[in-house]
Amino acid sequence: MRETTLAQSLPELPIGDGAEAFIEWLTSSFGWFFVGVRDGVGGIVDATEWLLTTPSPYVMIAVFTLLAFAATRSWGLPLFTVLTFLLLESMGRFPEAMQTLALVLVATVLAVLIGIPLGIWAARNEKVSVAIKPVLDFMQTMPSFVYLLLAVVFFRIGRVPGVMSALIFAMPPAVRLTELGIRQVDKEVVEAANAFGARPREVLTGVQLPLARASIMAGVNQVIMLSLSMVVIAGLGGAPGLGATVVRAVTGMNIGMGIEGGIGVVILAIYLDRVTAAFGREGRGRRRSASKASTDEASLSQNDDTDDAEGSDQATSDDRDRSIST
Amino acid sequence: MSKLRVSELTKVFGSRPKRALELMEQGRSRSEILEATGQLLAVAEVDLKIEEGELFVVMGLSGSGKSTVIRMLNRLIEPTAGTVEIDGERIDQLDPSALRSVRQSKLSMVFQHFALFPHRTVGENAAYGLKVQGVNEDERRTRATEALETVGLGDRVDAYPNELSGGMQQRVGLARGLATKADILLMDEPFSALDPLIRRDMQDLLATLQSELNRTIVFITHDLNEAMRLGDRICVLKDGRVVQVGTGPEIIDNPADDYVADFVSDVDRSRVLTAEQTMRPVRRTFSPDDKPRTVLDWLDEQEFSGAYVVDRDKRILGVARDDRLANGVRSGATSIADLLTQDYATARYDTPLSDLAGMAANSTVPIAVTDDTGQLFGVVPRARLLAALSSQEVEVDA
């Protein structure tokens, strides 16, 4: 009895209907905007795809292998690259893999271009940081299919909804890890820059960003992995590439094709993860974390009466074990 | 005019400082204010005048507000109330760009945990202040190398900070502070993260540099021995308030309250107190023309065994000792000029008691204290020396 009264007294909020009406209004009033984005992003994706698919696959495999070597300076990853990408080609999945890669690259670049400045803003402004948090949570937890649905409504089917939904789904780590990275920079070091009269811009570009680099690169790595996973799902929305292959395999119960598409995604994922992770540790960053251990030991033995808890946390994001999140 | 002048400087941490300020003006303590308002009164009504070329130490335990005080001088922390003046210019009222140019030209800072830029070389670190000023790269490198040479690191310009030991890292921090030639050097517990031996080295280095460079230095420490070793004057902070300002010996000799007395009780007095605080005026000196009988009678009366004999300029000629005077009287000497011995020890004003102790052991007369020209100014009898070395307040009439 009581439950019915409670249910009756609760007003029925037509969230779904409202959202639908709102989106209809958006598409009709801002149609020009969505058309503009569709044409712009579509153009960039087409160009990227053209770049990746026009040369012979063997040329591309050579390029990827060199890139892997440049990133890691060792033989393991380049060897892996040659073997797995040749496997892709022999399965006949290389063109699809390049189409997927084009979507991932465009989505990642856009997400980083928006996400890093947002993260910087949030690190410098407490209000922005507080305001942005629930939005990021929303973006990350909303089921990715729902984005795809919305993106298809706004941008029709094809590549663009794939990129746009990947952009939204994958951007949060770029924002969060940029903010975190900047906030983790030793407070005294930032004070030192300020004490010598550095302008805010000099503090940011000369001190905070370089010292947050490892964390920011971890964010970029996450963006890439998330957008790869989203781009595969975007096969449902008509985006070409390995996603489309998998979708076709699932709808046609074609096990062989499904496994080939799946292996293609895994190969891309491992390659992108290892390369970006290596770039994140590259250069001085790597040297710092290598010799960091010895200085920490030295300062530990010296600081018997003061605590030196800060300052040692910079290396942790460097050394964090990276795992694939797809 | 003082180089650096601070008056009524106050900092309240919290969102509603007004109420806390009112309570502070009523003379409430920090803990009362915290309880009543939830606002932390970190620094309360600090007044300081720091002179050009002075090494001024701000000393206090953790939580005494010393780090907040030094950060309000260059406004890394904004003061809640009060004024800061450098060369008569109000720092607390500057807009951000004027503040930056003061920080570039007049203030530099050395930090507790060195705060070096790990991604820059030692040379680039030392040159940072110059880079911010817009000095060109060649000159930057020259001046940074110069600064590194003064701290003994001229050969490590291209190393990275993590390749250096803690003491060397702080030398880089010091070089960074010196390179800009700012008049005022703020040092926030610069040596407290170093081990004791290195700390001692760094204190010596700073003392040497200061005698050459003559900067105005504000030095924060929680270590009283360090404060006494380095400071021309020391300011003792407690709960954000100034308890006492004075020279090291003044503070040890005459602590303002029980807190300071407690603080200074375990200081190594023999290294802080000097002959000047311990000596007494000479009761009587004699001239070489005096008769042996006169001196002997006086010594007998005072129960002393010797007296100083000086010339007209009060320079010491020697000691007239009772046994030799007695011989002189017997042999009919007319003056004491031929009876003098050189059996005495002299010390300067600023000789620490630890050095006096060794001298006292070997001489029969009180240690003579002289000034730069060699004039006898006072004496330190053994009894006074012993009394000064013990921390108890003992009135000695030796």
**Can you give the C-alpha Rg of chain A in angstroms?**
23
Identify any residues that bridge with B89 across adjacent strands, giving them in sequence order: B86
Q: Are B135 and B143 in contact (CB under 8 A)?
A: yes
- pLDDT greater at residue B268 or residue A185: A185
> A301 CB near a chain B CB, below 8 Å?
yes
Q: Write the DSSP assignment of B120-162 as a string of letters.
A: S-HHHHHTHHHHHHT--HHHHHHHHHHHHHHTT-GGGTTS-GG
Q: What is the largest CA-CA distance in chain B?
A: 90
Per the prediction, chain A carries an average pLDDT of 84
Alpha carbons within 13 angstroms on the beta-carbon side of residue B177 total 31
Give the pairing type, strands B81-86 and B4-13. antiparallel
pLDDT value at A300 more than 50: no
Distance in Å, alpha carbon of A269 to nearest chain B alpha carbon: 31
Burial class (CB in 10 A: 0-12, 13-18, 19+), A10: exposed
Distance in Å, alpha carbon of A311 to nearest chain B alpha carbon: 8
Residue of A nearest to B126 (CA): A196
Give the mean model confidence (pLDDT) for residues B198-210. 90
DSSP conformation class of B43: E
Dihedral of alpha carbons A207, A209, A215, A217, sign: negative
What angle separates helix A255-281 from helix A57-72, to the nearest 10 degrees? 40
Dihedral of alpha carbons B215, B218, B222, B228, sign: positive
Classified as helix, coil or strand, B371 is coil
Domain residue limits, chain A: 30-283
User: What pLDDT does B52 receive?
Assistant: 92
Q: Are A250 and A258 in contact (CB under 8 A)?
A: yes
| Cβ-proximal residues to B272 (8 Å cutoff; 6+ apart), any chain | B225, B228, B248, B249, B252, B352
Amino acid present at B21: L
CB pairs under 8 A between A and B: 103
pLDDT value at B358 more than 70: yes
Q: Map tokens 């076709």 to a residue.
A: A248
Give the pairing type, strands B4-13 and B40-50. antiparallel
User: What pLDDT does A287 receive?
Assistant: 43
Multiple choice CATH, A30-283, 3.90.1170.50, 3.40.50.300, 3.40.50.10490, 1.10.3720.10: 1.10.3720.10
Contacts of B195 in chain A (CB under 8 A): 301-304
> pLDDT per residue over A211-264, tens digit each?
999 999 999 999 999 999 998 899 988 889 999 999 999 999 999 999 999 999
Query: What six digits make up the tokens of B291?
Result: 């008769």
User: What pLDDT does A51 receive?
Assistant: 93
User: What pLDDT does A288 receive?
Assistant: 43
Angle made by CA atoms B134, B136, B141, in degrees to the nearest 5: 115
Helices and strands in chain A, H and E counts: 16, 0
Closest C-alpha among B346, B393, B349 to residue B371: B349
Query: What six digits make up the tokens of A24?
Result: 């209809």
Give the mean model confidence (pLDDT) for residues A196-223. 93
Which of B118, B128, B165 has the CB atom closest to A196's CB atom?
Answer: B128
Range ranked top by mean pLDDT from B68-77, B255-264, B340-349: B68-77
Dihedral of alpha carbons A129, A130, A131, A134, sign: positive
Domain residue limits, chain B: 54-270, 276-389
- Interface residue ranges in chain B relative to chain A, Cβ cutoff 8 Å: 71, 74, 76, 99-105, 107-109, 111-113, 115-119, 128-129, 132-133, 160, 162-163, 165-167, 176, 180, 186, 192-195, 198
pLDDT value at A306 more than 60: no
> A308 CB near a chain B CB, below 8 Å?
yes
End-to-end CA distance of chain A: 48
- pLDDT greater at residue B261 or residue A297: B261
Contacts of B107 in chain A (CB under 8 A): 195
Amino acid present at A265: V
Give the mean model confidence (pLDDT) for residues B79-83. 93
Query: What six digits make up the tokens of A10?
Result: 């609760």
Q: How far apart are CA B56 and CA B66, in angstroms?
A: 12
Q: Map tokens 């023999």 to a residue.
A: B270
User: Which helix H or strand E contains B110, and what residues bound it?
Assistant: strand B107-110
Alpha carbons within 13 angstroms on the beta-carbon side of residue B381 total 15
Closest C-alpha among B281, B315, B321, B317 to residue B299: B321
**Binning pLDDT at 50, 70 and 90, where does residue B342 land?**
confident
**Binning pLDDT at 50, 70 and 90, where does residue A151 land?**
confident
Q: Which long-range contacts (CB under 8 A, 24 or more apart) does B130-133 make?
A: B130/B179, B130/B180, B132/A193, B132/A196, B132/A197, B132/A198, B132/A199, B132/A202, B132/B104, B133/A197, B133/B104, B133/B105, B133/B180
Q: Are A15 and A22 in contact (CB under 8 A)?
A: no
* Least confident window among A81-90, B8-17, B177-186, B299-308: B299-308
CB contact under 8 A, B108 and A189: no
User: What pLDDT does A320 receive?
Assistant: 39
Distance in Å, alpha carbon of A84 to nearest chain B alpha carbon: 37
**Binning pLDDT at 50, 70 and 90, where does residue A294 land?**
very low
List the 12-71 stretch of A: residues with Cβ below 8 A of B.
none
> pLDDT per residue over A17-29, tens digit each?
888 888 888 888 8
CB contact under 8 A, A211 and B133: no
**Binning pLDDT at 50, 70 and 90, where does residue A309 land?**
very low
> A186 CB near a chain B CB, below 8 Å?
yes
> Residues of chain B with pLDDT > 90: what percent?
42
Amino acid present at A108: T
Suggest the residue from B95, B113, B133, B170 to mutate for an interface test with chain A (most A CBs closer than 10 A): B113
Give the mean model confidence (pLDDT) for residues B51-63. 91
Amino acid present at B166: G
Per the prediction, chain B carries an average pLDDT of 88
Query: What six digits make up the tokens of A217?
Result: 């690169």
Distance in Å, alpha carbon of A131 to nearest chain B alpha carbon: 20
DSSP conformation class of B341: B
Given strand B184-188, what is the order of strands in its sheet? B107-110, B184-188, B216-221, B55-59, B233-238, B241-246
> Residues of chain A with pLDDT > 70: what percent?
84
Closest C-alpha among A68, A65, A62, A148 to residue A107: A148
CATH architecture of the domain with residue range B54-270? 3-Layer(aba) Sandwich (3.40)
**Binning pLDDT at 50, 70 and 90, where does residue B279 land?**
confident
pLDDT value at B96 more than 60: yes
Give the mean model confidence (pLDDT) for residues A66-85. 92
CB contact under 8 A, B115 and A202: no
**Binning pLDDT at 50, 70 and 90, where does residue B329 land?**
confident
User: What pLDDT does A157 receive?
Assistant: 86
Distance in Å, alpha carbon of A188 to nearest chain B alpha carbon: 5
- The phi and psi torsions of B194 (rounded to 5 degrees) equal -105, 155
Suggest the residue from A196, A199, A308 to mutate for an interface test with chain B (most B CBs closer than 10 A): A196
Q: Write the DSSP assignment of B196-263 as a string of letters.
A: HHHHHHHHHHHHHHHHHH--EEEEEES-HHHHHHH-SEEEEEETTEEEEEE-HHHHHHS-SSHHHHHH
Q: How many CB atoms lie within 10 A of CB A135?
A: 12
Amino acid present at A20: E
Contacts of A303 in chain B (CB under 8 A): 166, 193, 195
Q: How far apart are CA B236 and CA B263, in angstroms?
A: 10
pLDDT value at A316 more than 80: no
CB contact under 8 A, A192 and B160: no
Which of B103, B160, B166 has the CB atom closest to A196's CB atom?
Answer: B103
**Can you give the C-alpha Rg of chain B in angstroms?**
27
> pLDDT per residue over A30-39, tens digit each?
888 889 999 9
Amino acid present at B388: A
Q: What is the dihedral of CA B176, B180, B183, B189, to 10 degrees?
A: -10
pLDDT value at A305 more than 60: no
User: What pLDDT does A312 receive?
Assistant: 39
Question: Regarding the domain delimited by B276-389, which CATH topology (the fold level of the hierarchy) does it fall under?
Answer: CBS-domain (3.10.580)
Which of B104, B162, B192 has the CB atom closest to A306's CB atom?
Answer: B192
Q: Map tokens 């129960």 to a residue.
A: B303
Between the alpha carbon of residue B250 and those of residues B222, B243, B277, the distances in Å are 18, 13, 9
Which of A186, A197, A291 has the CB atom closest to B115's CB atom?
Answer: A186
**Binning pLDDT at 50, 70 and 90, where does residue B393 land?**
low
CB contact under 8 A, B107 and A292: no
Classified as helix, coil or strand, B280 is strand
User: What pLDDT does A220 receive?
Assistant: 93
> A193 CB near a chain B CB, below 8 Å?
yes
> pLDDT per residue over B222-253, tens digit each?
988 899 889 999 999 999 999 999 998 888 88
**Binning pLDDT at 50, 70 and 90, where does residue B114 land?**
very high
End-to-end CA distance of chain B: 42
CB contact under 8 A, A197 and B111: no
Range ranked top by mean pLDDT from B32-36, B128-132, B211-215: B128-132
What angle separates helix A31-53 from helix A94-124, to the nearest 10 degrees? 130
- pLDDT greater at residue A227 or residue A324: A227
User: What pLDDT does B206 receive?
Assistant: 92
